[in-house]
Amino acid sequence: MITTDFIVYETATGRILRSGICGHLDVVNQAQGGGETAIEGRASDVTEYFDIVEGVIKSRPVIEATMSKTEIVADGVDELVISPLPIPTTVRVQGNEVIVMDGSLEFSTSLAGPLDFRLDAFPYQDKTLIGRAV
């Protein structure tokens, strides 16, 4: 059997959902749900996406955001700032999710503990920033 590499991506966005190897004639069957497209090729879902306008695989840019500081006082007043963020960016922290529409997140908390900020702004690569509230 002849095998080939395949990529399955979201038809609307180009986000790569999975990739692998299958029989040469089975590439189209790898798209399992509505809104999925399968093509021959090799790509990483972490670092690449399918540009639906140009019809090519491209590198996902890196989110350049940093935190103004990595430790804050858990008093609900002291804050850290994460910027610059692509617009829009979904930020998940402490079980909450917020969509940032102005390129900057100001964050404070009254709960002490680790802070894992998970940033998602496709087609940018996902990024995690780590801080702490004391």
- Domain positions in the chain: 3-59, 66-133
Does residue 114 have a cis peptide bond before it, meaning omega lies within 30 degrees of 0? Answer: no
The rounded mean pLDDT for the chain is 95
Q: Does domain 66-133 have CATH number 3.30.450.40?
A: no
Reported confidence tier of residue 1, pLDDT bands at 50, 70, 90:
confident
Closest by CA to 42, choosing from 18, 13, 14, is 18
Is the Cβ–Cβ distance between 92 and 118 less than 8 Å?
A: yes
Which of 94 and 55 is assigned the larger pLDDT? 55
- Pairwise CA distance, residues 127 & 41, whole Å: 26
Q: What percent of the chain has pLDDT over 70?
A: 100
C-alpha neighbours within 13 Å on the C-beta side of residue 115: 25
pLDDT of residue 75: 97
